[in-house]
Structure 1
Amino acid sequence: MHVRVKKLIGTLATVVFLIVYCLMVMVLAVKLLPGTSGVVQLLYYVVTGLIWVIPVGALISWMHR
């Protein structure tokens, strides 16, 4: 597979993944976080804000192989 095609597929997959991931994180936050303390909410957003890096990093690694 050509590098340009891999980068196109990887870019589109990244955009779609991030949109779906953000929507899922927001839905879970609405269901899980009401009534919790500010510290719990902060931890939730810190963890979910960093977790997306793992699959996107693997996708970028694939794109550059």
Structure 2
Amino acid sequence: MPVRLRKFIGTIAIVTLVIVYALTATMLATVVLDGRSPVAALIYFVLTGLLWIIPAMFIIKWMAGPPADRE
């Protein structure tokens, strides 16, 4: 796969990941954090704010993979 196409697909995947993840984490927060303390909310949002990095890291690793051989 050409590098430019791989980076384009990876960029679309990361943007989609961030949007879907943010909406899911926010909807889940309304259910999980209903009536909880502000400390619990802080812990939840810190963890979910950092958790999206793991799948994004795999996408970025794929994007930066070895270039396609041109023969």
TM-score above 0.5: yes
For residue 41 of structure 1, give the secondary structure of its aligned residue in structure 2: helix
Instruction: Please name the residue that 2:35 is paired with.
Output: 35
CA RMSD of aligned residues (A): 0.5
> In structure 2, how many angstroms separate the alpha carbons of the residues matched to 1:54 and 1:29?
20
Q: Which has the higher helix share?
A: 1
* Structure 2 counterparts to residues 46-57 of structure 1, below 5 A: 46-57=46-57
The alpha-carbon deviation at position 17 of structure 1 amounts to 0.9
Rg larger in structure: 2
Normalising by structure 2, we get a TM-score of: 0.89
Partners of 1:29 and 1:51 in 2: how far apart?
A: 14
TM-score by length of 1: 0.97
Q: How far did 1:34 drift?
A: 1.4
Contiguous gaps of at least 5 residues in structure 1 = none
Q: How many residues align?
A: 65
Q: Percent identity?
A: 48
User: Which consecutive residues of structure 2, in runs of 5 or more, have no partner in the other structure?
Assistant: 66-71
